[in-house]
Amino acid sequence: MARTLFPLSRVGLLVSAALIAPLAAAAPDNGYVETIQILGQKDSLRTEAGSTTIIDEQQLQKFAFDDIERILATVPGVNIRSEDGYGLRPNIGFRGVTPERSKKITLMEDGVLIAPAPYSASAAYYFPLMSKMTAVEVFKGPAAIKYGPYTVAGALNLVTRAVPDSTAAMMDVALGSDGYLKAHGYYGDRLGDVGVLLEGVHVESDGYKTIDGGGDSGFDKNELMAKLRYDIGGDKVNQTIEFKAVYADESSDETYLGLTDSDFDANPNRRYAASSLDQMNWDHTQFQLTHFIAGNGFDMSTKLYRNDLSRAWRKINGFAGGPDLSALLQNPNSGINEQFYQVLIGAADSSSPLGIDTLAIGTNDRDYYAQGIASDLRWALPLWGMEHNVHAGIRFHQDQIERNQYEDPYLMQSGQLVSDNNPRQLNTLNREKTDAWSLYLQDTVAFGQLEVTAGVRGEFLEMEYQNRLAGQGGDYLDKSTDVWLPGISAFYRVNDDFGVFAGIHEGFVPTSPQQDPRISSESSVNYELGGRYHSQDSKLEMVLFFNDFDNLKESCTFSAAASCSNNVDAEFNGGAVEVFGLEFSGEQLLRAGGLEFPLSLVYSYTDSEFQTSFESDFTMWGNVEAGDELPYLPAHQLTVGAGVTGNKWSLDLQGRYVSEMKEASGSGVTLSGVETESLFTLDVAASWDFDSYGKIYGKVDNLLDEQQIVSRRPFGARPNRPQQLVLGYRVVY
């Protein structure tokens, strides 16, 4: 694999040099940081012709959230299905696309694809620690066309700390309820043209759930990052070479098993005995080499990257011969379900080895890699009497997933899981691989106060799938996909503080390598119309959007409670769907009596309709009638923030409301007609600054201790996280 990648690095550097040579003129200020933090700062009216949001480091520190789902509560148009309460494996969607494992949004870290295998298996079973991020950027609509392959919904970019220009260090330690502990620190310095940054984060918790018969329900996560940067000054160009290395791991006692509704009402934080052995373990490494060069009116970055992830999730998959777990927990007292329910909770023993009530505990092993090289050029130039701002990029990307999935038979005996000593069964052994070339070209032309942006993205995929399971014929599939995705948008600056924008672009989500060519890629035409206002103390943005799906696509996963043990990630066509809505965000800073009072409001309204009737085996759809809604898409979401800041102290409140959501679109499936209830949570944070002696901060997440069923997937009712208290100390040198 390395032999494939490193010759490409030489090609990329040669391409970079060839493009830059005729452009160099005079050395500008180094803009390398802006290629990492794509949107830049928020101190002026942004003129992107598309919906964009940036959450900067100051905002991230206010509540010190570790959970990306809580952070994204301040971004309009984001739909989330909560699962574990900590955001360990988040389910994030934009503008109505399925949130399952964030698989339909483009996930990036420092502008580089970060999902384990973005093309071959995009489900994000790995997600970086948010404590080390200095910004979060969200792109929706035409603004996302540069950040494929997933252009239907948008892109999420996580920004890590830049190498400092002088000595800088920080230490942050926090303790909280449920055994919460966070230790975070960094040190950076510069000697001449060489800079270095070392950063480490550890977060752990004992968990908030209690397992019948005892056992752990918490997690332990670590992440280490090192950056080495070399700046090369010149008469005509400035250059930067940076090497980044990351190691991360997690051990979490998490499960897909939830509760019956009645058990949830009695104790939402209970876990059944059958989940006592469930545990996820993964190790992740990342290496990135970046070359950046800038001259008068242009800059170009070339990134060479490699990500590896190995994971094993031992968890209950079901019974050897019993009912589906989701159906069982929805109707635990119906007929034979009662017998299996009693085994599940540990109140009854399994009948015999290899009997129908033997429990299947899966290992669900996966090995991923993703590697590639990408070059991005920005060039401002006058042409034909007009000012052009050209963005162009090319990327070669290669990724792969290997599934090696066993199931071990276990018996419930006296409330404990014990092995029945029979051989484990191998039920999935396959490989999916993708080689992808992608490119984009985008030109923004200024006509006085009007800026028009036209662009196109190309994705050219070569995919391979091989079923290596004995007795299944060694199924092999080789296919290719080529697609061009155009877009056009405009921004009109009414004055220095206010502008309006509109855009249209084509959305695309590829199928995975194992899918039959009869399964169509997801495609849509997306429209948006909005306005943006920015003054010294006020910021407003409102957007109307309409996503017209020609074909909606879904996949069979355990996280969706789908019965796909021998056909993991099989995909389904859903036909035409329309999603439309309104997004609003506003901030206002008031001043009085030497104090500042920040206020904010974020609101999203979203509606959806299937345009055709059809019957589907997919558990989130079922038998759909035209006009049915998409699941896990709340009509109303509202986040309100208020605070007061003094000379050395601050107090902030954040309230979050999410309306009810459907668990399934149509009829004939387990969760047909079932909805989650609406939920309101309130978070509070406070801090006191002791100048050079550091800052003490405290917070209470879910102050009112409100808990509801936020989802009945994967298997059974699941709660949001209950009240959590945290007290911390942070000092910056």
Q: Is the pLDDT of residue 234 over 50?
A: yes
Domains delineated in the chain: 2-732 (2.40.170.20)
Q: What is the pLDDT of residue 472?
A: 64
Q: Is the pLDDT of residue 82 over 90?
A: yes
Q: What angle do CA 5, 9, 14 make, to 5 degrees?
A: 150
Strands, E assignment, 558-648: 571-573, 577-592, 595-610, 614-615, 623-624, 636-645
pLDDT tens digits along 125-165: 999 999 999 999 999 988 788 888 999 989 999 999 999 99
pLDDT tens digits along 424-434: 889 889 999 99
Q: What is the pLDDT of residue 731?
A: 97
pTM (2 decimals)? 0.91
Q: Is the pLDDT of residue 633 over 80?
A: yes
For the segment 708-718, the average pLDDT, to the nearest whole number, is 95
Residue given tokens 């545990």 in the structure block = 279
pLDDT band at 469 (very low <50, low <70, confident <90, very high): confident
Asked whether 552 and 580 are in contact (CB, 8 A), the reply is: no
* DSSP SS3 for 169: strand
pLDDT band at 475 (very low <50, low <70, confident <90, very high): confident
Q: How far is CA 217 from CA 269, 314, 603, 715, in A?
A: 10, 13, 34, 17
pLDDT tens digits along 13-33: 333 433 333 333 333 445 676
Pairs from 336-342 (Cβ < 8 Å, separation ≥ 24)? 341/260
Q: Is the pLDDT of residue 480 over 80?
A: yes
DSSP annotation string for 658-705 = E---BS-SSBSSTTTT-BPPPEEEEEEEEEEE-GGG-EEEEEEETTT-
**In angstroms, rounded to a whole number, what is the distance separating the alpha carbons of residues 150 and 349?**
47
Q: How far is CA 487 from CA 49, 141, 231, 452, in A?
A: 11, 9, 36, 11
Q: What angle do CA 712, 310, 515 make, to 5 degrees?
A: 65
